[in-house]
Structure 1
Amino acid sequence: MTAPAHTPAPRPATLADIPELIRLRAVALASLDVDPGPADSAWRQNAHGWFAERVTGRTDVHCLVVGGAGGEPLLATGMAWVTYHLPSPQWPDGRRGYLDGIVTDEAARGRGHGRRIVDGLVSWLNAGGIHYIQLHASADGEPVYKAAGFVTGRYPGMDLFTTRPTHHH
């Protein structure tokens, strides 16, 4: 099934997309009630190198984007990467996939971009022999992931913060 001409298909991200990837990360943070802070925030500077490494130098990471042609803004993005776990009878090599950073810009929501990105990332992982894929869903993203076949995980997620993060302004 090909997307109609007015809904561009997801494509792999390039270095030229990094400013927009960082902008969409800020959109995602704001939708999670996290203030992304000013344009010179430390996380934004870190994100540039973080994305550059993963867009160009890693075979175990895949970043898809929609839009961004000819200097236009990106409409949506998402990433998948390989995570490494202990081998088990069901998953003999211990590899899993993890989806993260899936966000559609506010003005472009409701057009299926998120679902097409999820499907593209799942296909990429499947092509690499990875058939156990995990994610942490926001309330906004949960219906998209359920529609794509994701189910509630067998074990609940837990977090431990051993130090309080410092905020640099």
Structure 2
Amino acid sequence: MQPRPAVPADIPELIRLRAVALDALGVDPGPADAAWREVAHAWFLERVGDRPDVRCLVVGGAPGEPLLATGMAWVTHHLPSPRWTDGRRGYLDGIVTDAPARGRGHGRRIVDALVGWLDDIGIHYVQLHTSPDGEPVYRAAGFTAGRYPGMDLFTGPASPAAPAAPPASAAPTS
């Protein structure tokens, strides 16, 4: 089953899959009426469709059926450099396959299609962050550990606890 562009009618399922991803990352997505879901609906509505700098793909979701997988890519803008003269990079995010549909290559097809879209629009530097469960999919698609380690800073009142440090033998991911 090939990925297709998401449409506004897919948004409830995109939010459901976002909750699946959060749960897999150890973040409680909360109840069906949690405030973040309303914000997510508006967020997806702004990005699903014909924006030239964002692509959201889904697998499944025939009328009345759930989505099996989804993923997004967008263009980010950074300082130009000798190798990346226009400063544009691609970023992959929100790639998740529903638990019953895992192991069928849906995530890999989405990754390949998103990287292909970025390549077609002239973006050849693609970044992402991954969970340990997703890392094999990205490595199989040709991704390698980032050249520079990532860091986070949370300054708001809802700052999460610092994540546990990875084992010393773990390779950094981006």
Deviation of the 1:56 alpha carbon: 2.6
Query: Which residue of structure 2 aligns with residue 97 of structure 1?
Result: 90
What's the counterpart of residue 4 of structure 1?
none
CA distance in 1: counterparts of 2:101 and 2:141, whole angstroms: 19
In structure 1, the partner of 2:125 is 132
Find 1:43's aligned residue among 17, 36, 42: 36
SS in 1 for 2:108: helix
Q: With structure 1 as the length reference, what TM-score do the two structures score?
A: 0.92
Quick one: distance in 1 between partners of 2:51 and 2:42?
13
Structure 2 Cα separation of the partners of residues 63 and 138 of structure 1 = 20
State the partner residue of 2:58: 65
User: C-alpha separation between the residues in 1 aligned to 2:64 and 2:7?
Assistant: 12
- Find the counterpart in structure 2 of residue 84 from structure 1: 77
Identify the match of residue 22 of structure 2 among 21, 29, 36: 29
Partners of 1:163 and 1:13 in 2: CA distance: 32
**Unmatched runs of 5 consecutive residues or more in structure 1:** 1-7
Counterpart residue identity of residue 129, structure 2: H
RMSD of equivalent CA atoms: 0.9
Length-normalised TM-score, structure 2: 0.90
The answer to whether residue 146 in structure 2 is matched with residue 147 in structure 1 is no
Distance, in Å, in 1 between the alignment partners of 2:81 and 2:148 is 16
- Unpaired segments of 5 or more residues in structure 2? 160-174
Aligned partners of 1:35 and 1:57: how far apart in 2?
32
Shift of 1:162: 1.1
Q: Distance in 2 between matches of 1:140 and 1:83?
A: 25
For residues 69 and 20 of structure 1, the distance between their equivalents in structure 2, rounded to whole angstroms, comes to 11
1:107 offset after TM fit, Å?
0.1
C-alpha distance in 1 between matches for 2:151 and 2:135? 18
